[in-house]
Every structure is written in C-alpha cells, then in structure tokens.
A and B are shown apart, each in its own frame.
Chain A
Amino acid sequence: MPPSIHPVDLVTALRHKHLTPAIVFLTSRRACDEAMETFDHADLVLPPVRQEAIAVALERITVQHPSIAEHPLIPIVRRIGVAAHHAGHLPSWKIAIEELMRQGHLDAVFATTTLAAGVDFPARTVVITQSSIRKSRDFTDLTIGEVQQIAGRAGRRGKDLVGFAIVTPSPYIDLTVLTKGLTGQPEAVDSQFTISYPMVLNLLKAHPHEQIQGILAKSFAQFQLNQRAELLEQKLDALHVQMEPFGPRVCTDWITQWQTFDHARRHRHTRHQTHRSESPEISARLPFLTPGRVVGLSRGRGIVLRQYRSKGQKNSMLTILRPDSAVTECPVTSVKEVFDRTYDCAEIPTYPWCSTETFDRLSHQLEELPPRLPVLPILVSTSSEPLPDAIVQSLGDFPCPTCPSRPACQKDFMTASRLRQEQQRHTKSIQALRTSLWHRFQERVEVLQKFGYLTLATQLTIEGEWARLIRIDHSLLITELIRAEAFTGADPSLLAGIFASLAHDDDRPGAFPRISAGLSSLLGQVRRLAESLSPYEDPPLLRADVAALVERWVADPTLTWIGLCRLTTMAEGDIYRLLARTLEFLSQAQALRSTHPGLAESASHAITLIRRGVLEELP
C-alpha cells in the first residue's frame, strides 16, 4: 500500500462524496509541489463552463497582480481546479488562490500547515495528513489549539451546513495527537515576554527609571507570574498554620539552634567551610543574623534588614535598622550581641530591603524594646577541626541540657525544621517570581551602560537617543556597526546586501556563488563584530548568498524578477520575503535621518531601488 493517498485519488474521492472545496494540508512545500505534478496528466478535468469561469476570474486578478500572469501552475488550476498555496509562492499568487477559493472556483488547494494560522480562506473540507509541524528545525506535535485552527477552516458560514475534517495517514502521523486535538480544550496561552535592548531604551526615554518596575508589572508576564506566586502564597499560608505549634519556646529561635547543633553533630568530619577568614564565632552567628533579628551593637541596638557579602570586605555585611529609622551598613563583627528576639520582616530586593509597612513597624518595635533582652546562646564549633567527640557526647542530643523545653524541642525539631525549610524555599520562589522581570530589565540596563547607550544614572546618552529607533532583531549589532562606521560610504547596494544578511533568518539553503569583494569584506567585519557581541545578543545567520542576491537586485536596475530568481535556488516566495524583510530593516536605518544623514540617505536610496516589479504590487 502506498504510504499516503495519491493526490489524484484524494481529489476524486472528495469530489465523489461532494466534499469539495477542500484544503489539503501537507507537511512541506515540496509535497504540495509534487502533488501538483501528479495532476499534469490526470483526466479529472472540469466541465468547460467551470474552466471558463476560472479563466475569467484569473484574468481579473491578473490586472491587479500582473506577476501571476505567467505562473506555471495556471494550466492545472484552470483545467482541474486544484492549486498549491505555500510560502514558496509570491503573495500575489496566494492572494489569487485565496480569491478563487472565496469565489468557489476551486475544488482543492494543497497548502502547508505553517499557513493555517490566520489565513482567511475556509472550505467545506479540510484534509489533515500530519500530526506534527516543523518549528525552527525540529518537528513538534501539533497543539490542540493548532489542530483546531487547522480543522476550523472547514465549514464556511453561510455556504455549508456541515464542515468536514478528514484525516488521511502519512508516514509521520500520530493519530492520538489529532484525536486529542479535535476533541480537546485548547491550551492556555502563556506570556512570552522578553526584554529587548530597544525596549529598555524606549522605556527609559519616556519614563524615569523608578517608574519602570511599575510598567513591567503591567505585563501579562507579570500577571501570570503573580498567579504562580499567589499559589505559593497559599501554600505558605498553610505552612504558617502548620508551624503554629512550633513557635517561640524558651528561646525564640530554637529551630535554628537545633539546626546548628544537628549540623555540627552530623557533619563533624566534613565541616562546612567558612567564608574567607571568618572566625568560628562569627560564622556560627551568621545563620541567626537574618532579617528581623534584634542585635546589640557597640552603641545601642538594631534590627537586621539583610545580610550580604561585599567585595573588599573580609566579613559578611549587615544592613541594620537603627533607632530613629536610620539605616546603616556594618560588618557582622560589629555585632556585639545576638538577642533572642525576631520580628516578621517582609523582604524586598531593593533598599531598604523590607516593605514600607515592615520598615515602619520595625522602627516602632525597635523603640518599644524592653531594656533587657535575653541573649541567644550560640553553639560555636571550631572550623578547622571537627567538634571533639567528647564534647558532642557530653552535649548528648541537646545543645542546651538544662533547658526545660528540651524534650519538646527534641521531639519537634525534625518536623519543624522541615516545615521551616519549605517556608524559606517558598518565600524565595515568591520573591523570584515577583522580581524576575525587573532583574532581567536591570541586566539589559547594565549591558547598555557598558556599551554607552545609557548613563550610569540610566539616562539615554547621545548614542542611546538614536539607537532606540532601531527596533528590530539584532539591534545591538546594528547600532554597534553604525557606531563603528561600518556603513560609512557604503553605497545602497552594499548596504542592502548587509541588511539582507542581518534580516534573513531562514536557513533553507539557496546558492548564489558570486559575491563582490566589497560585500565580502564588509560581511567579514559584521561577522567578527557579531561574534564579539554574542554574549549579549544572539548572532544572525549572516548568509553571504542572500546578501549577494539583494546586492545584485539593487545594483542592477535592469535585472528582472525572473532574472533574479534564476540567480538562486531559493523559491520566489522566499526571495520576496527576503526583500520585504530587508526593506523593513532599511526603513529603520532611514529613520536615523537627523543623526546619520549619510546612512539614512543610502538606505532610502536602497529602498527605492528594491521596490520595483513584483515588490510594487502590494502596499
């Protein structure tokens, strides 16, 4: 048995059951083209009346879109009423086929699935031959949403009482993907928000830095991150309840006490390393010096807001809230006493490291502290040597042998510390969810500062002012090329060639061996710069063949469209898209009229030269 139904048989079967017009979705352009070839000698010819109607309709469309006049598929379209429609074709051809379809002249259109989304031509029947789709080099299963977009083309309102989605197998089909797709609920959509360099520049052009976080918070991305954070908060609430029996005992922070002890006992031979040269006393304190902890300093007391490490400081650092709402930074060594008292502290990732409410409350609580506070006993283990077994044994199972709550603590420790770890984990995740966009923004800001598009105060520099107008892929590479004067004196064809290689992101092969020396050397320069920028921006494909092709089109105004197509193995539709994308990129360079008049003028020239023939047909 053949691996899939023969196109002629398919159309015959569809006609026989009155299931035409149909759209047949095939895996590749090639499959569509091959399907067309099978109709060359087929005797499925339409009655003369319909053939005549198609001819008339085509003629009318040709007036508007002359480029379809010579299309090799026209005889088949007219004789048999079938056509191919895919990205390898010119837009004008696709428009023509869509129009013929809308007017009801065709029986079947063979199309690729890439075009299923958003294309406006329904039919009575949709034939599905595949369950996966090529997405950037890999095949992935169709989603439920995609299956329904494809199948949904079937059944035209006002023209059909019923629509049909017909599955016919090919070697790549997984039927369950399709049955699930047809019967299921479409997937939820997820935000794909990314922060690009132009976005950063344009945001900072219009808004002060401190407003940006609020703007990013308006994204759907943040909306969805918040949903996830809320779920975790729900869990956190539940954990809070579970933690209730394990609140403060004789010492408020008995869990940390026990953790330290437990750690010392269990890992006494593989002691965790202390940071730098912190003394054992200091490193033993660190786990207790968390936000909300009350500490004694050489003068007065304070509440820890955060613990951090700083370059050039031997010891860990603390940010501490002092009386009168003063905030100071000091090394942990300046802590004289760690008190057995902590307060809730809602942490935030920016100064003053806790929420405004927390800050106000803590300031108040600091004033209200009783004059005497219990000091927290902290078990110190010497870092260089394991805790002597004798000491561990003398401690028994317990760091504070005389404490009355010892049995209770001993019993609860495992559960309590597990719950607390979970709490900490959730708290961290929530914080990450709430702030990740902002961090990504900051990362971009740093890169833009490094390259001199932003000042340290996050104002746009002179360079940033024009760079923000380049709002396309590879914007950093393009602006850096402009700054490196790579395009100075470049004539329109050279410029168009380079922009083509920047714009074209399709790796479908197409050969064009001859490339001018000027273009070749400039392309080399672009490649080197792209390489050096790769830590900050993914490099473009920079294909020499497409660059050369566009250079030729611009350099030689006598070159016809057919002549251009003969120069390469690329499909017409791909050449058209290449030129259209190049136009889009060039128009961004054209926008730099006031700062880079030479470049803008050359770009504008290139645009005029590109727009001829087929490229003039559409707005």
Chain B
Amino acid sequence: MGCDSVLSTQSSALQSMTTDELEKLLAQQPVALLHRLARGRVHRHFRAGKRRLIELLLQHSASNRAGFESDLQTLIEGQGSRTEPGPSRTHPPPTIAHKKTSPRGAEPESAETTISLSAWLEGLGVPSPQPFVPDPWQSEALSALNETDVVISVPTGSGKTYVAVEAARRAMEDNRSVIYTSPLKALSNTKYTEFSRIFGPDKVGILTGDRQENGQAPLLIMTTEILRNLLYDAASGEIDVRLDTLGLVILDESQYIADPERGVVWEETIIFCPSQARLLLLSASIGNPQDIADWLTSIRSTVCRLVRHSKRTVPLRAGYLHPNGKLTPLFRTLGIPYGHPNQLHPEAKRLFLEYEEETLPSGRPRR
C-alpha cells in the first residue's frame, strides 16, 4: 500500500462489508494497527496475538459496527499518509478540471508534473445557491445524540453550529433546557445574537461573571468557566433547580481542553456535567479525538460516539506570494498534498530561496 487509490477503494468498500470481508481486511493489517484499533475496545489487548486479536475485535465490532469500521478506515488512511509517495500511474495527469467536491483535498501527483498558476487559479468563484441539506456527519451526530454523548471533530468551517442549533431545538421541544458554552466572551456574544435570531429573543439568555441577560431562558449561553462554577455550586448543595431539567450541554471549541491555563476548566465541566444531560463536544480537527471519546465513555453513563472527518467541505489550495507581487502555487499539486510536505512547487521553492538569501545574509532567521 502506498498508493492512495488502493486505499480509497478499500475504504469506500468498508461501508458495505460482510464480516468475512472485514476479517480478511483486518488480517491484512499490521499488528500495530490492530492494537491501536483495539485500544479502549479490547481489555488488555496487548496480551493477544494477531489471530486472537482479530477474533476479539470482530466480537467487539458487532456492538458498533459503523464506529468500528470508520475507525479502521481512519487508521488505514493515516497509515497510508505516513508511507512515502510512490509514483502513481493509476491517476490521470493533473487536469485543470475542477471537481466541485474533490474527494480528498488532493492526491499526490507524480513527480514530473506540476500545476500551472492559471490552472491553480481556475475554478474559484461562488457556488450556485443550493437548498440546505445536512451533511451525513451532521445527521449522524444528531441521531447519535438521541442516545449518547457525542464528540465531533471536523475541520474549521464544516458546520458544527448546525448540529448545535438542531440539537438545542430538539432538547427545547422536549421541555429540557440547554447550555451552550464557548471559550471567549466575544464568541458568546456572537452566538447570543445568532441564537436569538434563530429561536427568538425570549428563548435565549446569556450569563457572564457579573451579569445575567434573560437568565431564565431555556437556552443559556455562557463561557465554560461560568458553567464550571454553576456545577460546583450545584454539587455543594446550593442547587440551581434548573440543572434538573438540563437536557443538553454543548461545549464549543472543545480543543481548548489543551489550553495550558484554561484547559482544566473543560475537564472539570465534563467531570461534573449532570449525568442525565447529554454532552455535545464540538472541536476543530485534533489528532486524538478517539481518546476524548474513549475518556467520555469511561466516565459517563453512555458510550460516547465520535463523529469525525478530516476532509474540508470547501477544498483548500495553497499559494506563495513573493514580495515583488509574483504569485505561484505553493505545492506542485492543485490541492494541498496531505501527508507530503515536501512537494513544493519549483517556482515557489526558487523564489523563497532567493528571498532567504536576500533578507538573511547571516543564515537562519532569528525567532
């Protein structure tokens, strides 16, 4: 493996796979990958040999086949991106034809071909208006939320807010209250405006350290610190009755859990989140969302569902702009060559070297 096309056929085949096929696929994987897959699924998996491991994994997969297969897929893909690019004959040479939704950003192109500036600039523009159809991952997250906590890890700008809004709407229709937290006051204010517009001003309130606006509304927006404090007060008996009717807690920008100063607040909030309330964690792409989901599973009453993907909805291209105004693609490929940082466009490389030589007579930049 090393050729992406094999991987993609493999992974798309995953969706409709019989147990036999799954077993075969597992058998083709290196043991290390199986162990990684077994983490959090199979107790003391490291004791098992490959055959036994596959057996145990298959047993486990029965309970959550979709999640299992998607993890397997992610692992196989991750593995593919670590291997070196081989010249891939199966791909047609890069064309300027722009696909509206290219399947995976860009595939690494063969070494000889490089994209031209005009090809790189082609296809930009405004899409024709489309009726709103939720993405599969959005629907998946919403239906999972009926039963379990959910962690979402998707790239910036994918549409996490839609999931938050729909989930909040459903909880409120059920007469349960909702808390939405963001890490920054500024973001809270933006969401306050946005949600008030969606649900009507009487349905939405905001809590800050020293002020309450519509504090009895069913949907409350606050910073994560404020929620943590509420939970502490509830735990020590100064009960805010409304926590009993709390049906959903949405923690936006959950990747803040890794913030050196404030990350601890996300942990406290999650640890003390009432068990009857569903937790919805919205996060940008991070490296180990499965760990977060496994963690939630280990401390909450339901098995947390992870919804993730790393494909950007609007494809991204990278360029290099020289100080003299000359623009060139940054990479050889049309899209971003994920997993291949060295595929620099020769023109970008040349210009940058020139820049470094001119601006830094004495070697590397000070930083």
Contact = CB atoms under 8 A, between A and B. Distances in A.
Interface of A: 1-6, 9-10, 12-13, 17-19, 91, 94-95, 98, 117-120, 122, 124, 127, 132, 139, 141, 145, 148-149, 151-169, 171-176, 179-180, 182-194, 196, 199, 202, 205-207, 215, 218-221, 223-224, 227, 230, 234, 237, 468, 471, 580, 583-584, 586-588, 590, 607, 618-619
Interface string B287-302: 1100110110011000
A9 B327 CA distance: 12
21 contacts: A18-B121, A122-B157, A127-B321, A145-B284, A145-B285, A145-B286, A148-B284, A153-B157, A157-B158, A157-B314, A162-B314, A162-B317, A163-B315, A167-B330, A179-B330, A182-B336, A186-B286, A193-B263, A468-B236, A471-B232, A619-B211
Interface string B224-250: 010011001001110000000000000
B21 to A, nearest CB: 27
B338 A202 contact: no
Contacts of A167: 318-321, 330
B125 interface: yes
B144 interface: no
Contacts of B46: 230, 234, 237
A152 B316 CA distance: 8
Nearest to B135: A157
Nearest to A584: B209
B1 to A, nearest CB: 17
Interface string B166-192: 000000000000000011111101101
| Across the A-B interface, the 10 shortest Cβ-Cβ residue pairs | A152-B156, A155-B314, A192-B263, A188-B287, A188-B288, A189-B258, A587-B210, A206-B235, A168-B321, A584-B209
B211 to A, nearest CB: 6
Contacts of B313: 155, 157
Nearest to B314: A155
A220 B257 contact: yes
A68 to B, nearest CB: 15
Contact of A221 (B155, B267, B325, B355): B267
A191 B287 CA distance: 13
A607 B210 contact: yes
Contacts of A215: 271
A174 B78 CA distance: 26
B257 A94 contact: no
A165 B294 contact: no
- Most-contacted residue by chain A among B259, B336, B340 (CB, 10 A): B336
B321 A192 contact: no
A141 B365 CA distance: 12
Given A4-B323, A155-B314, A169-B352, A237 B341 contact: no
A441 to B, nearest CB: 13
A207 B234 CA distance: 12
B315 A155 contact: yes
B367 interface: yes
A230 B39 CA distance: 10
A117 B253 contact: yes
A187 B283 CA distance: 13
B344 interface: yes
Given A168-B321, A182-B318, A224 B291 contact: yes
B251 interface: no
Contacts of A175: 352
B257 A164 contact: no
Interface string B349-360: 000100110111
A156 B157 contact: yes
Given A162-B124, A221-B267, A224-B291, A190 B258 contact: yes
B236 A202 contact: yes
Contacts of B187: 118-120
A222 B327 CA distance: 49
B229 A169 contact: no
Nearest to A185: B287
B47 interface: yes
Contacts of B306: none
Given A171-B360, A171-B365, A193-B264, A118 B323 contact: no
B255 interface: yes
A487 B321 CA distance: 58
B93 interface: no
Interface residues of B, number: 101
A184 B287 CA distance: 10
Contact of B124 (A91, A95, A164, A172): A164
B206 interface: yes
A191 B291 CA distance: 11
B126 interface: yes
Nearest to A588: B209
B337 A191 contact: no
A586 B210 contact: yes
Given A160-B127, A185-B78, A189-B257, A149 B359 contact: no
Given A5-B324, A189-B291, 5 more contacts: A132-B367, A162-B315, A164-B316, A165-B316, A169-B359
Nearest to B106: A183
Given A223-B295, A607-B210, A192 B124 contact: no
Contacts of B235: 202, 205-207
Nearest to B283: A189
Contacts of A224: 291
Given A1-B324, A167-B321, A91 B186 contact: yes
B87 interface: no
B197 interface: no
A219 B267 contact: yes
B60 interface: no
A587 B209 CA distance: 6
Contacts of A18: 121, 124-125
A153 B156 CA distance: 7
B46 to A, nearest CB: 4
- Most-contacted residue by chain A among B126, B237, B355 (CB, 10 A): B355
Given A118-B183, A149-B156, A223-B291, A1 B316 contact: no
A118 B182 contact: yes
B320 A168 contact: yes
Nearest to A19: B124
A164 B327 CA distance: 12
Nearest to A124: B124
A124 B319 CA distance: 13
A154 B316 contact: yes
A156 B324 contact: no
A193 B287 contact: no
- Most-contacted residue by chain B among A148, A162, A196, A218 (CB, 10 A): A162
- Most-contacted residue by chain B among A155, A215, A607 (CB, 10 A): A155
Nearest to A158: B127
B5 interface: no
A171 B361 CA distance: 11
B11 interface: no
A174 B323 CA distance: 15
A238 to B, nearest CB: 9
B325 A9 contact: yes
Nearest to A216: B271
Nearest to B254: A189
